[in-house]
Amino acid sequence: MITSLNEDRKLKRLHRILSDSERIVLLGHSAPDGDAIGSTMAFRIVLERLGKDVHVIYPDMIPPQLGMVPGAKDATDATRYPDFARQLLADADAIVCMDFNAPSRIGALAEPLEKAKAPKVLIDHHLNPADFAEVSISRPEMSSTCFLLFKVLCGLELFTFIDKSAAECILTGMMTDTGNFTYNTTDPDIHVVVAELMKLGADPQRIYREQFETHSDNCLRLNSYALLNKMEVFKEDGAALITLSREELNRFHYVKGDTEGLVNKPLAIPEVVYSCFLREEDGYVKVSMRSLGSFPVNELCHEHFGGGGHLNAAGGEFPGTLDEAASLFRSLLATNRRLYLGQHNVKTKK
């Protein structure tokens, strides 16, 4: 048995909103990942089985490897179909925001979301949720929105509506947000839920292979190049930095998703407690950080790199050049050393 969410009042209100709604829009965040796509697609399947008219919208394109998630290719990409996406939001009876905590995480869709008359629901696991939803089920202690969704569905007594496809969607998000259950996985309920999803027919080995072990040759070479030539390790400071310029990305025919997981690699080095990856985009730098223990990369991203996120996984968008972002990161090493020293031996401490 999994423990209940203890959100009875909110679940009742959510139940009421869903019962009163015919057209339901599910929204995921910009650059949708396995958890955003998995949670929205799973909820869509369940709601459709309840006879609802459901549309899923993402602010931009899904990465190719997530095209495998059941139904993902049918979602509306708001970058390609901005008017249709706006119309769907305006016409919705209910809007469910999944795997993001604030309208600022959905780019150009923020404005039509705020204007929409439909009641809004938030189902998410990021810290500091903005106050914009009628029902806000925000559980930052949970490792993925998919895990939270499973508990929400059980709370709504909709477990029997989770079919094999929905189970695969949920498992995808649980797996991708925990690095295949290698971090944020201390809650034993996670494994109970995985067992339930497997009983429903979800195949973790196949999903693992599709999400973690399927790469183009260009992608493998780009990641190898980045580690060989572009990784700076600051052992004294417990830090590592990888930068990739537009020119370097183009050289390896970069496509979205190719550098997924790269930021985690330097954490394998015993002295490294936090890692930063900077990727040059058009007009800004995408920042990605990961850490171990209690080193707060979300604070670092929030204070200096225009973003935020979780304690151990955060990101942001830096409005300057790649060199400026890298210099800023290096200039902060000394200040961060204090935090790092608090983390010393984090890898060996039990």
| Min dist. Cβ of residue 70 to ligand 5GP (A) | 22
Considering only residues 120 to 139 of the shown chain, the ones binding ligand 5GP according to CB under 6 A are: 126
> Which partner, Mn ion, ligand 5GP, none, binds residue 308 by CB below 5 to 8 Å per kind?
ligand 5GP
Give the interface size with ligand 5GP as a residue count (CB under 6 A). 11
CA–CA distance, 238 with 274 (Å, rounded to integer) = 6
Residue with tokens 């929205």: 40
Which residue's beta carbon is nearest to the bound ligand 5GP?
315
Q: In what order do the strands lie in the sheet with 274-281?
A: 231-234, 239-244, 274-281, 284-291, 313-318, 307-309
Please list the residues that pair with 247 across neighbouring strands.
Answer: none
> Which position among 315, 322, 336, 340 is part of the footprint of ligand 5GP (CB under 6 A)?
315
Judge whether 96 and 10 are in contact, CB under 8 Å: no
Smallest separation (angstroms) from Mn ion to the CB of 125? 6
The partner in contact with residue 307, picked from ligand 5GP, Mn ion, none with C-beta cut-offs of 5 to 8 angstroms by kind, is: ligand 5GP
**Quick check: 173 binds ligand 5GP (CB under 6 A)?**
no
* 69 φ/ψ angles, rounded to the nearest 5 degrees: -65, 130
The pair of three-digit structure tokens given for residue 211, joined into one six-digit string: 């999400």
Q: Counting contacts by CB under 6 A, is residue 288 touching ligand 5GP? A: yes
**Choices 208-216, 245-253, 266-274, 313-321; region in contact with ligand 5GP by CB under 6 A:** 313-321
Site track for Mn ion across 137-156, x = CB under 5 A: --------x-----------
How many beta carbons lie within 10 A of that of residue 38, not counting itself?
35
Cβ within 8 Å of residue 282, ≥6 positions away: 246
Nearer to Mn ion, 35 or 196 (CB): 35
223 binds, among Mn ion, ligand 5GP, none (CB under 5 to 8 A by kind): none
Report the nearest approach of ligand 5GP to the CB of residue 240 (Å): 14
Residue among 103 and 307 whose Cβ is closer to ligand 5GP: 307
Q: How far is the CB of 69 from Mn ion (least distance, A)?
A: 14
**Cβ pair 272, 285 in contact under 8 A:** no
Distances (CA, A) of 38 to 22, 56, 159, 207, 276: 22, 11, 16, 12, 26
Beta carbon nearer to Mn ion, 124 or 237: 124
Given candidates 316, 322, 325, 329, which one binds ligand 5GP under the rule CB under 6 A? 316
Can you read off the two tokens belonging to residue 250? 């183009």
Distance, in Å, from the CA atom of 308 to the CA atom of 20, rounded to the nearest integer, reads 35
Q: Whole-number minimum distance, CB 259 to Mn ion, in Å?
A: 18
Q: Which helix (H) or strand (E) holds 234?
A: strand 231-234
99 sits near Mn ion (criterion: CB under 5 A): yes
- According to CB under 5 A, which one of 7, 168, 177, 280 is a site residue for Mn ion? 177
Distance CA 199, CA 220 (A): 34
Helices (H), the chain: 8-19, 34-49, 82-91, 110-115, 145-155, 164-176, 188-199, 204-212, 217-229, 246-251, 297-304, 322-331, 333-342
Q: In this complex, which beta carbon is closest to ligand 5GP, that of residue 92 or of residue 98?
A: 98
Give, as one character, the DSSP assignment of residue 307: E
Query: Looking at beta carbons only, is 21 or 298 nearer to ligand 5GP?
Result: 298
φ/ψ of residue 169, rounded to 5: -60, -45
Q: Of 129 and 308, which has the nearer Cβ to ligand 5GP?
A: 308
Q: Does 37 bind ligand 5GP (CB under 6 A)?
A: no
**35 is a site residue for Mn ion (CB under 5 A):** yes
Residue 196 interacting entry, from ligand 5GP, Mn ion, none, C-beta within 5 to 8 Å by type:
none
Q: Which residues bind Mn ion (CB under 5 A)?
A: 35, 99, 145, 177
Q: Which residues bind ligand 5GP (CB under 6 A)?
A: 126, 288, 307-310, 313-317
